[in-house]
Chains A and B, each alone.
Chain A
Amino acid sequence: MLDLVASSRPVFNPATPKLTFTVPPEPGGLYARKGDVLFAILVHAPADGFTLPAGWTNVGNDGASVATVHYIARMVDDREPASFVVSLLASSAEWQGALLVLRGSGALALIKEASSSATFTADATPDTPTAPCLQAINLAIVTWSAATALTLTPPAGYAAIDTYSTALVGARSVLFALARANQTGTLSPGAATASGAATGRAFVIVLRDAMPLQPAELVDLVPGNIGLVGIDTRAPREIPFGA
């Protein structure tokens, strides 16, 4: 099962332009081990682009000019640097993001199960799009990106990973939240709460550790095996000495 171990907030430098992510370090019980997945969420408005860093996998993107999200991932190996830089193509957009350290992942190619996005306009309770979810153990990560400086609060059942406002190019606010899906079918995270009328876009991505497993077969050429037994857990009898 995927679990969130740690997260960090990137630094946006519009002059260069670039986003610098710091990999959460030891000590403190929060660190990236070999086999963990670094999952970076990059969100920006208006339109812009970036160069995928070497060794990273493009998991997908969503959105349009109102706001766009990109998901990139990398599995931690023995030579993981303490930070990495995502080079941006232009300096005309406000970039925000989050780096998540996920543990328990399988192959990166299977990590994304589904994603979706939807806009909201002048809404103090910006809603979230739905997404299909095939396994209750999946993680649902929701991102709300809104114009101007606002305080954003996730819906019930979702824990905020990070939320902040910046205005290095144009004022924007972002909220990242996460929850265990705990259901299959159509996932409806619900509406966030904003401190004012919010305009922007919400994104959902459903992550999984692997496709559902297939159980091993009990096979024998000739039927006839000892099957399930009930374990005798009664306290052993104590026979008195000399009895």
Chain B
Amino acid sequence: MTSPIVLMHFDEPEGVNPSDSLGNLENMFTEPGIVAPVVVATWTGVGRRFLQASTSGLVAGDISANGTMLPRDATIQVLIAPILTGASGPQTIIARGINDGSTPERYAYGLEIEEQAGNPGYFEIRWFWQDGAGTIITAPPGVFKHAGDGVEVMLTATRRWEGSTRVVVRYYIDRRMIAELVTTDGTISGGVTGSTSIGARKAGGTWGRFLNATIDELLVTDYEMSADEIAQTFDRLTVHQPAGSAMFQGLAPPGATWFDNPSNGIGRRAKVVGQGLGLALSTVSELRSVFLPDKAPAWLVARWERLYALAAKPLDSLDVRRARVLARMAADEGYSIPALQASFATLFNLEAEEVEILEFANEIRDSFATLEAERWSQGTIGTWDIAAPGELRITVTSGTPVPVNVTPNPCHVWTPIDRDKIATFFVHAYAQGKIADYAGLPSGAFVGMFLHARIGSRTFWFGVFNNPATATNQLGYCELNLAGYIIAFTALATIAAGPIWLRIKVAPAVGIFSGPTDAITLSWSTIGPSTGFASATVNASPVYDLVGFGVHTVATPGVDIVARFDDFVLWTPESLRPFAWFAYRDPALAGSYDLIGACALARKVSPAHMYAAACASKSLICGDPIFGQVGYVPMGADL
């Protein structure tokens, strides 16, 4: 809602009770304890003089079909001339509720002023309300200097409810904000069909805190007015309307004295016309100033949001909503990296170049400068670490047997072949790795790469085995197949010590459903990662979902098993990785950011065949768009 709720002009003549121009309140009246304020001349024409010594005050109830209950955001704007002479203590401008113990009459909002104790000539202006327990909460005040008794000024107070523990209050004098403060007392009580009092506050059946000032006009809205709106309002009153009057008067023939006396009939009529012209000019000026989303007030930013199909959350501040629209507008400049960086910069509260766009290819490479816990899951047997010069090292203590099955606990590091999908057909893909060192491999120990399928718990090993039968290191393979049967090691070559590059690949022409008779090509090279490969085709299932490095033994090792691996490459041409991109916001950089708004922007700007999100973490936790997409980070964690 973005509407005015109460608008009091106080232009009724003496003897006629003031009324709310918007029709949400009954006609204001007096009762025992308060007397009607007298009519006086004010800047707009007439107003009401609330005299503390006379206990002036007015009260009215809600008209049942409408309501003035505002439990969240609100703005109170008043043209008022405070008078210090004869004043003491807090003075109520308006209070919604008469605090009679019932919930509907708890103060939902209220505004008061008071001369500062010990600082004469300075006023505090402050919000107040009651919480769910009926405790009166007084928000931190703004402070301004008294302009002088009878000097009419414009005061505005806004309240933005962000949560039960955070309410932001702002205070303005004329067009300037004098304070923005936060209170943690955000439980605001009150109920529909209550009462509103002006110039006094009632509690427990007794009136008090009487105002000592002249109120010219009073406006209450159900939204937080922006600083721009407030500035435009004051400019209308003090710049545009007088300019309109001056413009009309300037149309008089040169030398004419029609408007020399502005208080005569012609002068007043000219002023009416001029003020109308000024109001129109002001409206145009305000629209020019606030129509773009960077300055749009709440009621206008909602239209921008509809145009861009953006949805604001209930507690989004105006600044957040503006930033989201601006980001969406920036995204319209194109789907390029620089354009995307510029789009997310506002929501991330960063410079464009600080926004990282994460994009992926079908190939994963790992040179093991570090052991990335997000990529590699470790078994429980042995110790994996990174040894100089950046190689993955496994150490298994002598006397520790390691089963050939990589589940549930043995000695391995593994990574999913394609996301976290179970039973990936390892077709058209290959995995490659380097056994950098395996010197001193004890008899019966195997080190190398493996493929594993969690369905059926099948493992295919390819690597170096110190064969007890031959007492030599042999390159070969073995398998724990679907039936739980260990297919004995098959040697492919006898090799000398030294690095060896291993590659496992499924031939693309193989029928996927042929079972264990499908062909897998095993290749190895002692020269380098790209040359000198010898190959052999073996029969095994092509269905696996994990790949990694590991160790297993057929006999308890008599010495420590120490091996090093490096240069991991995984190529999955059918992977969906290239179809995902992320806008990454480094949380270590200073400033707050709107991740949810950024996620919405990512989805908006991304082509239909892509998955996109904003994230503040690069870690793999969970999630896959095909499986319902449980997160917003490269690996899916929901932040």
Chain A residues, CB < 8 A from B16 = none
User: Whole-angstrom distance between the alpha carbons of A180 and B118 in the complex?
Assistant: 21
The answer to whether B179 touches A137, judged by C-beta atoms less than 8 angstroms apart, is yes
- CB < 8 Å: which of A184, A217, A224 contacts B268? A224
Residue of B nearest to A185 (CB): B117
- Chain A CB within 10 Å — which of B2, B9, B45, B268 has the most? B45
The answer to whether B217 touches A228, judged by C-beta atoms less than 8 angstroms apart, is yes
A28 within 8 A of B: yes
User: Whole-angstrom distance between the alpha carbons of A213 and B154 in the complex?
Assistant: 13
The answer to whether B263 touches A228, judged by C-beta atoms less than 8 angstroms apart, is no
Check A225/B143 contact, CB under 8 A, given A182-B182, A230-B21: no
Chain A residues, CB < 8 A from B275 = 224-226
Tell me the smallest distance from the CB of A181 to a CB of chain B, in Å.
Answer: 8
- CB < 8 Å: which of A29, A30, A226 contacts B44? A226
Which of B170-178, B339-347, B549-557, B572-580 contacts the other chain?
B170-178
B187 within 8 A of A: no
- Chain B CB within 10 Å — which of A30, A218, A223 has the most? A218
Chain A residues, CB < 8 A from B151 = 217
User: Whole-angstrom distance between the alpha carbons of A136 and B589 in the complex?
Assistant: 29
The answer to whether B152 touches A230, judged by C-beta atoms less than 8 angstroms apart, is no
User: Whole-angstrom distance between the alpha carbons of A222 and B265 in the complex?
Assistant: 12
B358 within 8 A of A: no
Chain B residues, CB < 8 A from A134 = 116, 119, 122, 143
Chain A residues, CB < 8 A from B330 = none
- Chain B CB within 10 Å — which of A134, A136, A227 has the most? A227
The answer to whether A225 touches B21, judged by C-beta atoms less than 8 angstroms apart, is no
A119 within 8 A of B: no
User: Whole-angstrom distance between the alpha carbons of A226 and B238 in the complex?
Assistant: 10
B42 within 8 A of A: yes
Residue of B nearest to A29 (CB): B590
- CB < 8 Å: which of B9, B118, B173 contacts A227? B9
User: Whole-angstrom distance between the alpha carbons of A159 and B272 in the complex?
Assistant: 56
Chain A residues, CB < 8 A from B180 = 1, 137
B256-310 interface with A by 8 A CB criterion: 262-263, 267-268, 271-272, 275-276, 278-279, 299
- CB < 8 Å: which of B46, B154, B181, B233 contacts A136? B181
B320 within 8 A of A: no
- Chain B CB within 10 Å — which of A180, A220, A228, A231 has the most? A228
The answer to whether A136 touches B179, judged by C-beta atoms less than 8 angstroms apart, is yes
Tell me the smallest distance from the CB of A134 to a CB of chain B, in Å.
Answer: 6
B140 within 8 A of A: yes
Tell me the smallest distance from the CB of B574 to a CB of chain A, in Å.
Answer: 42
Residue of A nearest to B275 (CB): A226
Chain B residues, CB < 8 A from A220 = 43, 242
Residue of B nearest to A214 (CB): B145
A209-243 interface with B by 8 A CB criterion: 211-231, 233
The answer to whether B42 touches A222, judged by C-beta atoms less than 8 angstroms apart, is no
The answer to whether A233 touches B181, judged by C-beta atoms less than 8 angstroms apart, is no
Residue of A nearest to B2 (CB): A233
Residue of A nearest to B276 (CB): A226
Chain B residues, CB < 8 A from A216 = 147, 153, 173-174, 234, 238
User: Whole-angstrom distance between the alpha carbons of A182 and B216 in the complex?
Assistant: 30
Residue of A nearest to B11 (CB): A227
A183 within 8 A of B: yes
B79 within 8 A of A: yes
A125 within 8 A of B: no
- CB < 8 Å: which of A183, A185, A217, A222 contacts B267? A222
Chain B residues, CB < 8 A from A223 = 41-46
The answer to whether A228 touches B145, judged by C-beta atoms less than 8 angstroms apart, is no
User: What is the 8 Å Cβ interface bit string for chain B, positions 424-442, against chain A (1 contact, 0 not)?
Assistant: 0000000000000000000
Residue of A nearest to B146 (CB): A214
A135 within 8 A of B: yes
B311 within 8 A of A: no
The answer to whether A224 touches B153, judged by C-beta atoms less than 8 angstroms apart, is no
User: Whole-angstrom distance between the alpha carbons of A212 and B46 in the complex?
Assistant: 29
Chain B residues, CB < 8 A from A227 = 9, 43-44, 79, 216-217, 237
User: Whole-angstrom distance between the alpha carbons of A180 and B168 in the complex?
Assistant: 14
- Chain A CB within 10 Å — which of B174, B234, B272 has the most? B174
User: Whole-angstrom distance between the alpha carbons of A216 and B117 in the complex?
Assistant: 23
User: Whole-angstrom distance between the alpha carbons of A239 and B144 in the complex?
Assistant: 49
The answer to whether B271 touches A224, judged by C-beta atoms less than 8 angstroms apart, is yes
Tell me the smallest distance from the CB of A135 to a CB of chain B, in Å.
Answer: 5
User: Whole-angstrom distance between the alpha carbons of A179 and B238 in the complex?
Assistant: 37
Tell me the smallest distance from the CB of A7 to a CB of chain B, in Å.
Answer: 13
Residue of A nearest to B22 (CB): A230
Check A225/B241 contact, CB under 8 A, given A136-B140, A180-B181: yes
Tell me the smallest distance from the CB of A8 to a CB of chain B, in Å.
Answer: 15
Chain B residues, CB < 8 A from A182 = 140, 181-183
The answer to whether B79 touches A218, judged by C-beta atoms less than 8 angstroms apart, is yes
User: What is the 8 Å Cβ interface bit string for chain A, positions 114-158, against chain B (1 contact, 0 not)?
Assistant: 000000000000000000101111000000000000000000000
The answer to whether A29 touches B589, judged by C-beta atoms less than 8 angstroms apart, is yes
B3 within 8 A of A: yes
Chain A residues, CB < 8 A from B236 = 226
The answer to whether B179 touches A218, judged by C-beta atoms less than 8 angstroms apart, is no
User: What is the 8 Å Cβ interface bit string for chain B, positions 118-137, against chain A (1 contact, 0 not)?
Assistant: 11001010000000000000
Chain A residues, CB < 8 A from B219 = 228, 230
B155 within 8 A of A: yes
Tell me the smallest distance from the CB of A72 to a CB of chain B, in Å.
Answer: 26
Chain A residues, CB < 8 A from B271 = 222, 224
Tell me the smallest distance from the CB of B446 to a CB of chain A, in Å.
Answer: 51
User: Whole-angstrom distance between the alpha carbons of A222 and B77 in the complex?
Assistant: 23
Q: What residues of chain A have their CB less than 8 Å away from a CB belonging to chain B?
A: 1, 28-30, 132, 134-137, 180, 182-185, 211-231, 233
Between A and B, 11 residue pairs with Cβ closer than 8 Å are A134-B122, A135-B179, A136-B142, A184-B143, A214-B146, A217-B147, A221-B262, A227-B217, A228-B218, A228-B219, A230-B3
A218-B154, A226-B278 known; 10 new pairs, CB 8 Å cut-off, are A137-B179, A182-B140, A211-B145, A213-B173, A215-B145, A216-B147, A223-B43, A224-B268, A227-B237, A228-B77
